[in-house]
Amino acid sequence: MSRKYLIAGNWKMNKTATEAVDLIEEVKSLVGNQSSVQVCVCPSFTSLAKASELVEESQLLLGAQDMNAESSGAFTGEISAEMLRDLYVSFVILGHSERRQFFGETNHSVNKKILAAVENNLKPIYCIGETLEERETEKTLDVVGSQVREGLESFPSQSIENLVLAYEPVWAIGTGKTATDEMAQEVHAYIRKVLTDIFGESSASKIRILYGGSMKPENAAGLLAQEDVDGGLIGGASLTARAFSGIVEAALNA
């Protein structure tokens, strides 16, 4: 089964809409004309409207960093799936560890968002991963297994090709520490096994599993060469066009 690589840039709470225009233009000129690797940028909500105009007529895709599970109503400050679709957003990052840590998100609450996203034809990038303490006490596979099972409860099998997972060890995010190629492959293979238990082998083989956590041009080739690593979710290195496109190049050469 050949899965097309996806390289997604998670800009987090960085870049004004004005700054986003410059960065997207640069990314577009460096890697926006090819379709062998899918490339997605996920700026802040405030930049999505401008970004959607800019990525039109290029191969770049647009993603959001979160959304509410409800479709509309009295939820001050929140953004719905329909609002994202209206801006031609394709992907939405859900359950990022920073949202779990700082905003109280759980497998259960993220599950509701995932189901709402696919119902609205958005492709969820569902983030999972263990903390340092969980790794040191050898709980990694248990933790990740529960995140997959609980976060994907009732996931409709007809939407399987829209599902993306991102394995992001919490201790590797923004720290400069990366999982070794072997560590990443071990967990990715386990995630695919759990997905096989849930959805069957044929469906599980179609789901892309990204690696995230201090991925950069220098370590991307080794990680992307692993059998079950189907791309990257990039934080820090997505904030400069050169570093981000360096990772896309690594995927193009993988």
- Cα gap 16→236, rounded to integer Å: 16
Query: Closest separation between CB of residue 88 and ligand PGA, Å?
Result: 22
Query: Which of 63, 151, 231, 236 forms a contact with ligand PGA (CB under 6 A)?
Result: 236
* 105 tagged catalytic: no
Element (H, E) at 53: helix 45-55
Query: Closest separation between CB of residue 224 and ligand PGA, Å?
Result: 14
Q: Of 98, 105, 168, 188, which is the active-site residue?
A: 168
Tell me the C-alpha to C-alpha distance, in Å, between residue 19 and each of 16, 57, 120, 238.
5, 20, 29, 13
User: Is 145 or 217 the residue whose CB approaches ligand PGA more closely?
Assistant: 217
- Cα gap 216→74, rounded to integer Å: 41
- Cα gap 56→45, rounded to integer Å: 17
**Please, are residues 250 and 224 in contact by the beta-carbon 8 Å criterion?**
yes
**Please, are residues 126 and 114 in contact by the beta-carbon 8 Å criterion?**
yes
Q: Of 96, 98, 130, 134, which is the active-site residue?
A: 96
Residues 199-228 that bind ligand PGA (CB under 6 A): 212-215
Query: Closest separation between CB of residue 128 and ligand PGA, Å?
Result: 12
User: Is 106 or 175 the residue whose CB approaches ligand PGA more closely?
Assistant: 175
Residues 161-180 that bind ligand PGA (CB under 6 A): 168, 173-174
Q: Which residues bind to ligand PGA, rule: CB under 6 A?
A: 10, 168, 173-174, 212-215, 233-237
